[in-house]
Structure 1
């Protein structure tokens, strides 16, 4: 739609040459978010203006000989490299210079009209993007956070099971490898949040969704800490496990607390209505996590592992409850 509209408007305002620059500008400027469209519009306009200026300067110095186009392209590439221009502008500068020198030599005013044409096409595309508001990408971000939240809870359950029952070395290795997959999931969730935030920038609907994004940002921060603690507990168990561990009463109590933590973490998901998103329990279930365990003297052969698990469990509880423990 933006391309067609730019073509029609450019032909009406700038008759003569086919408005190819306006159509290309409109096609490239329309992006998934208004913020991205504005960036593309600026890149496109700067690239065309820079290319026209280079072509004009080269033609004044060296005339209109046959090799002038190749020289202008080389100058443009060097200029974009020195100025470290964005890819959109860097590609457009030599293209514009080449078109101006190859087509505009026989057409007076060609360069100036192409600049106006490009600005017109970019402006129309930006206007269309504002009128037809692009989608708000909060749903994908929420889904990514929910998947991460669920996998962290599953990892806590796996640690609880490994504490409760005897484990083989292969089972411990598999548990460790599975826990490491939380990192890529966290990166994916972080990227989804960035895209959601960008989709709201300059978006007319951002006020209605801002608090949802703020809640998701807070949720991501909590999940970052939970991922770190969960991976840490898994590694500690993997590195310090022995066959007598599950016989310790304290370890059995730790296993129960981890099951409760996993249960509570599953409650902390986005509700059915994204506008009411909060990192709080929802539904009929209640928090099951009790106060942290108090251990006066851990068994000597397991004190490093039990102490490490206790500290990580304390911090997991802080993130689930949403406030530091006194």
Structure 2
């Protein structure tokens, strides 16, 4: 908590964005309660701060969409509960039996998301407080409208959230994780490896798919955060260029082929399907190639962080990696064991696909 608080104060980033949204939500709730309690003199003044608190969402577009959904759901819950109280002559349990089952069915509607349950909870407030007279129902709806307007206004006008840094941060983290996995494989292949170590590599490769999905979610959130958002124009001069979408596909390919590579290594370690291990010389050369690819991943991570397109040093490293691969390819046929040759060829196919994803220009040449 101390580290997160320190980062929120010292640097822009997700910690500061979370703190800003929390303060905005609290301020919106307090303002909504003050208006509902003192302006319209509501006897409960509960719906206004509750609605305002929920509607300070991660993007302005989500706040607008959630506001429409919540107004509709709360209105349905309020009216339905009031009718149930009239039909049951103000009896609490019978009114719950009449109103809660259908409202919970409505809450399960997929498009309402997390806001669907607010209809049932609003009905509980109306029934528990016995506030079902027409003027009381009107107060509930007016409070909800006040809370929605304040929540939307605060989120759209006070430091409106523009989520543009998540894609670059996610791609940088993914490049670093791929490099760490390749470096771990390189270090492990220099010594005899066991099934547990190979399974750990395979598990790490599978976990990389979560990072790929996180990048996709971040790109979706970044696109959504600019919709109907006045902060997009206010911060245009301070924005850095967005990473191109082809980078997402590039690292998705890297992760896919790393998963295949680690699966083959796991099968070799377990001797599954009579897989024969490659020669020691081939394994050591393969470890050196994995190290080169780890360095390529580190270069890519640095370029993503610096918003750069690369230079001569990165090109030279890519050319050297392809030369090492071609040399290793020439040594495959020197192995006497045909089964070992087949396994070596499978490993080379997987690492070649990773190399193509990281250095496609050299592959085309």
TM-score, structure 2 normalization = 0.71
Give the equivalent residue in structure 2 for 1:183. Answer: 206
Matches within 5 A, 1:47-62: 47-59=73-85, 61-62=87-88
Matches within 5 A, 1:1-326: 1-11=27-37, 14-59=40-85, 61-65=87-91, 67-80=93-106, 83=109, 86=112, 88-101=114-127, 102-105=129-132, 107-139=133-165, 141-161=167-187, 165=190, 167-170=191-194, 173-188=196-211, 190-191=213-214, 193-195=216-218, 197-201=220-224, 202=227, 203-206=229-232, 208=236, 212-215=241-244, 217-240=245-268, 245-248=279-282, 253-271=285-303, 277=307, 280-281=309-310, 285-288=314-317, 289-291=321-323, 292-293=325-326, 295=330, 298=333, 299=335, 300-322=338-360, 325=364
Q: Tell me how far apart the structure 2 counterparts of residues 16 and 119 of structure 1 sit (CA, whole Å).
A: 13
**Contact 1:271/1:282 (CA < 8 Å) preserved in 2?**
no
**Contact 2:104/2:120 (CA < 8 Å) preserved in 1?**
no
RMSD: 3.5
Q: Tell me how far apart the structure 2 counterparts of residues 306 and 7 of structure 1 sit (CA, whole Å).
A: 70
- Deviation of 1:162 (Å): 5.3
**Contact 1:190/1:220 (CA < 8 Å) preserved in 2?**
no
**Contact 1:21/1:114 (CA < 8 Å) preserved in 2?**
yes
Q: Tell me how far apart the structure 1 counterparts of residues 364 and 124 of structure 2 sit (CA, whole Å).
A: 67
- SS in structure 1 of the partner of residue 301 of structure 2: coil
Q: Tell me how far apart the structure 2 counterparts of residues 113 and 218 of structure 1 sit (CA, whole Å).
A: 52
- Deviation of 1:62 (Å): 4.2
**Contact 2:77/2:103 (CA < 8 Å) preserved in 1?**
no
Q: Deviations over 1:222-256 (max 9, x none)?
A: 222212222322332343366761235xx655444
Are residues 252 and 7 of structure 1, via their aligned partners in 2, closer, same or farther at CA, if it must alter by over 3 Å?
Answer: closer
- Deviation of 1:24 (Å): 1.3
Q: Tell me how far apart the structure 2 counterparts of residues 100 and 63 of structure 1 sit (CA, whole Å).
A: 14
Q: Tell me how far apart the structure 1 counterparts of residues 32 and 158 of structure 2 sit (CA, whole Å).
A: 15
- Deviation of 1:158 (Å): 4.0
Q: Tell me how far apart the structure 2 counterparts of residues 182 and 132 of structure 1 sit (CA, whole Å).
A: 41
Q: Tell me how far apart the structure 2 counterparts of residues 283 and 30 of structure 1 sit (CA, whole Å).
A: 47
Moved more, 129-138 or 20-29: 129-138
- Relative to its length, the structure with more helix (as a share) is 2
Q: Which runs of 5+ in 2 are unaligned?
A: 1-26, 270-275
Count how many residue pairs are aligned between Structure 1 and Structure 2.
Answer: 316
- Deviation of 1:121 (Å): 0.7
- Deviation of 1:277 (Å): 2.9
- Deviation of 1:81 (Å): 5.4
Q: Tell me how far apart the structure 2 counterparts of residues 174 and 66 of structure 1 sit (CA, whole Å).
A: 62
Q: Tell me how far apart the structure 1 counterparts of residues 175 and 80 of structure 2 sit (CA, whole Å).
A: 54
Q: Tell me how far apart the structure 2 counterparts of residues 183 and 234 of structure 1 sit (CA, whole Å).
A: 9
- Deviation of 1:21 (Å): 1.2
Q: Tell me how far apart the structure 2 counterparts of residues 77 and 160 of structure 1 sit (CA, whole Å).
A: 58
